[in-house]
Amino acid sequence: MSAPGTPENPLRVAIVGSGPAGFYTAEHLLKREDMAVEVDMFDRLPTPYGLVRAGVAPDHPKIKSVIRMYEKTATREGFRFFGNVDVGAEVTVADLSEHYHAVIYAYGTATDRHLGIPGEDLRGSHAATEFVNWYNAHPDFADREFDLSCNRVVVIGNGNVAADVARMLALTRAELDETDTADHAIPLLADSGVEEIVVLGRRGPAQAAFTNPEVRELGEMLDADIIIERGEVELDEVSRAYVDSEDCEPTNRRNVEIFTGFAEREPEGKRRRIVLRFLRSPVEIRGDGRVESVVVGRNRLERGADGRVRAVDTGEREEIECGLVLRSIGYKGTGLDGLPFDEAGGVIPNDHGRVVEPDSGQQVPGQYVVGWIKRGPSGVIGTNKKDAQDTVDALLADVAEGRIPEPGIDPDTPGREADEVSGIEALLEERAPDFVSFDAWREIDRAEVARGEPQGRPRVKFTTLEEMLEAAKAVPAE
């Protein structure tokens, strides 16, 4: 058989996950004019686009416009989408290896990191990611309940997810009504009893992970004041030296300037308040059966031997009463049966996207990773473009150097040839017969957009698999 990539033997690639990393990878592969490539993309949900659909805040519609690029990729010859297929359960890693020259795992980071403090699991203490999935109508989270009758919410973490949830808690009904926020979430958010959203950063204003536009937005809320006590933005020695140095990231320096500007403002008496506190770590979440308060420790900063500025507990404590805690301290990846996994890092061990055995560092032939499950949960959507190129370059180098096994030839089953292996559709018909093609997804999309139109909203999302699959049925038979 000729090397993969020729018209007789196109390079057959499976991509598991249809978020930005998966789509940029598909684009890098399918745009190549010097080789024949076929890409089958799998997703556990009937809907594509991963965090662009279920992560990006509904009041950030511009960020979601990247979907247009992904739609273009989906129209490229050689692209197929198989939604509503659970890789790991309905289709295994071994199944995919049997059907494709290469499998690229792009399934992101499904869980959250834990604080490891007492009371973390009390009722009313949630991972921010749960809340994000809920207001974004992710079908697995539609029936979650958040007590928004409370007066104060504490958000833990200083990243953009923390900024997103703080903003979502502070939007007015009119602002929410223009978005694709889940229908079940709009009235609860708009009419909530929440008056104060306290956002806790364990380090200082110069170390916050927010990006500048996200910080600025917190000060531009229609009906929420931004509150920072002046003392909170006074830089300690370590931070002052950092901000004044050439090593300072422009984002960090600008953040400090914006925070300082906020600290100089007088509150306007708006309905809600977003309060930013720095150098504060939660040490315990208290309550009788449900969250009633967070005990917070005050930190000082210290530069470690590795150069990283760390938060060190001073022993000073205060207690903040609240009815809801959203822990926004980062996502974490989970492993997949049949693939190596680095538990501590929450990623699949890899070398420029080539999956490797953690102990020996030896490459696992035909297996690749991209996106957050490759490098951890960092960066913005566009970061995945370059990351995808890196993985595709590794894969194509392996193709060129003959390191890609021919699919279907199982070394443990001598004599079994590639053409004896039936196509992936036959396997899916057996294991996941309700799989959703890209055309079927377009029907779901059309139906959601049509539901939103009379309300002047971009779409009204379906919140259950049943509704999605019903809408998908409208796809004309081939």
Rounded to the nearest whole angstrom, what is the least distance from the CB of residue 254 to ligand NAP in the complex? 15
Cβ-based nearer residue to ligand NAP, 152 or 203: 203
Cβ-based nearer residue to ligand NAP, 115 or 224: 115
Neighbours of 117 (CB within 10 A): 17
Contact 4, 12 (CB under 8 A): yes
Q: Which residue is nearest to ligand NAP (CB)?
A: 159
Rounded to the nearest whole angstrom, what is the least distance from the CB of residue 158 to ligand NAP in the complex? 3
Cβ-based nearer residue to ligand NAP, 157 or 366: 157
The secondary structure of the chain, three-state, reads CCCCCCCCCCEEEEEECCCHHHHHHHHHHHCCCCCCEEEEEECCCCCCCHHHHHCCCCCCCCHHHHHHHHHHHHCCCCEEEEECCCECCCECHHHHHHHCCEEEECCCCCEECCCCCCCCCCECEEEHHHHHHHHCCCCCCCCCCCCCCCCEEEEECCCHHHHHHHHHHHCCHHHHCCCCCCCCCHHHHHCCCCCEEEEECCCCCCCCCCCHHHHHHHCCCCCEEEECCHHHHCCCHHHHHHHHCCCCCHHHHHHHHHHHHHHCCCCCCCCEEEEEECCEEEEEEECCCECCEEEEEEEEEEECCCCCEEEEEEEEEEEEECCEEEECCCEECCCCCCCCCECCCCECCEECCEEECCCCCCEEEEEEECCHHHHCCCCCCCHHHHHHHHHHHHHHHHHHCCCCCCCCCCCCCCCCCHHHCCCHHHHHHHHCCCCECHHHHHHHHHHHHHHHHHHCCCCCCCCCHHHHHHHHCCCCCC
Rounded to the nearest whole angstrom, what is the least distance from the CB of residue 178 to ligand NAP in the complex? 18
Interface residues with ligand NAP (CB under 6 A) are 115, 156-162, 164, 201-203, 207, 209, 211, 214, 281, 328-331, 377-380
Rounded to the nearest whole angstrom, what is the least distance from the CB of residue 211 to ligand NAP in the complex? 6
Rounded to the nearest whole angstrom, what is the least distance from the CB of residue 109 to ligand NAP in the complex? 9
Cβ-based nearer residue to ligand NAP, 247 or 425: 247
- Token look-up 């380090």 returns 203
Rounded to the nearest whole angstrom, what is the least distance from the CB of residue 116 to ligand NAP in the complex? 7
Rounded to the nearest whole angstrom, what is the least distance from the CB of residue 331 to ligand NAP in the complex? 6
Cβ-based nearer residue to ligand NAP, 109 or 391: 109
Cβ-based nearer residue to ligand NAP, 390 or 439: 390
Rounded to the nearest whole angstrom, what is the least distance from the CB of residue 204 to ligand NAP in the complex? 9
Cβ-based nearer residue to ligand NAP, 90 or 164: 164
Cβ-based nearer residue to ligand NAP, 103 or 320: 320
Cβ-based nearer residue to ligand NAP, 68 or 477: 68
Rounded to the nearest whole angstrom, what is the least distance from the CB of residue 309 to ligand NAP in the complex? 8
